Copies of this chain bind each other. A is one copy, B any other.
């Protein structure tokens, strides 16, 4: 018996029975095939997680596996798409690593009812997981970073900074730290993304590289500037209470540039305020003529010299 094919069958195919109704040919042939329903378009994104880069070397590999799936699904959330299938590439140091990563991957596939439609399993010196996710969207309704308008409000769904605080706790040896679960267990907000799209929101992004950096993608993509008012970032006070040994600046830095948050940032005209408040979105800023992202503190622009994550800095 070929151990590679045996492992693929035992660890993945047998444990992920969910098949999306669009699928004609699922996992197990050279490729999968899918019939896209009339009136819908295909949405695809790819996302990679590498051991010792995207997660600490001493973190359990089942957690790393679940994180990789959830992070990829967050990109569909940002478009307002409904997740349908995923194609998985696992690079594993050994069979034990492969098995442990598969546990978290399988659990996430089952939880989100996403079909594991194909994959590739190879040996590597680094444990890494690449996830390509596919979803469906009513034609022409994708929420794009290029769709913000001057005068739009800027809204945040979810929190930022908590995952970065959790990672810091983990790295400092506080393995049971209060923020650690925020780093380990990503919640992709695709239901909220679908709600935003159904509300008529046209511009959204998920925050994976830090609030300021991802807000900057909207500003650049839509050729405008963004003001973010620090007074409206709800979790700052709560954060400082939980982490009393952090300075206010250190807390702010995590909130503004922490990364791995998987919150959603969207823009909308004033007519959508009531609807957005009713789904607990936080109104944190405004789109203005100009460029770049600017922080407002007590009515003045401030500069904290904060940057997002850069793989090749």
Contacts and interface: CB of A to CB of B under 8 A. Distances in A.
Interface of A: 2-4, 7, 24-25, 28-36, 38, 41-48, 50, 52-54, 75-76, 78-79, 81, 85, 87-89, 91, 95, 98, 117-126, 128, 130, 132-135, 137, 139-140, 142, 144-146, 205-206, 213, 221, 307-308, 310-313
Number of copies: 2
Contacts of A117: 44
10 contacts: A4-B312, A28-B221, A30-B45, A31-B43, A33-B79, A45-B118, A46-B120, A47-B120, A48-B120, A50-B122
Contacts of A79: 29-31, 33
A140 B307 CA distance: 50
Given A32-B44, A46-B120, A311-B121, A25 B144 contact: yes
A87 B123 contact: no
B205 A30 contact: yes
Q: Which 9 A-B pairs have the closest CB atoms?
A: A31-B45, A30-B78, A46-B87, A132-B132, A130-B130, A48-B89, A36-B36, A30-B75, A3-B312
A21 to B, nearest CB: 13
Given A2-B307, A2-B310, A2-B313, 20 more contacts: A4-B313, A25-B142, A29-B145, A31-B78, A31-B142, A33-B42, A34-B44, A36-B36, A42-B42, A44-B87, A44-B134, A46-B118, A46-B119, A47-B89, A48-B130, A53-B122, A89-B89, A120-B130, A122-B311, A128-B128
B45 A87 contact: yes
A124 B53 contact: yes
A135 B312 CA distance: 32
B206 A30 contact: yes
A33 B41 contact: yes
A36 B118 CA distance: 20
A87 to B, nearest CB: 4
Contacts of A123: 50, 53, 311-312
* Most B C-beta atoms less than 10 A away, residue of A79, A89, A98, A137: A89
A64 to B, nearest CB: 14
A42 B132 CA distance: 14
A244 B107 CA distance: 54
A98 to B, nearest CB: 7
A85 B134 CA distance: 13
Given A34-B42, A87-B46, A144-B25, A124 B128 contact: yes
Contacts of A81: 31
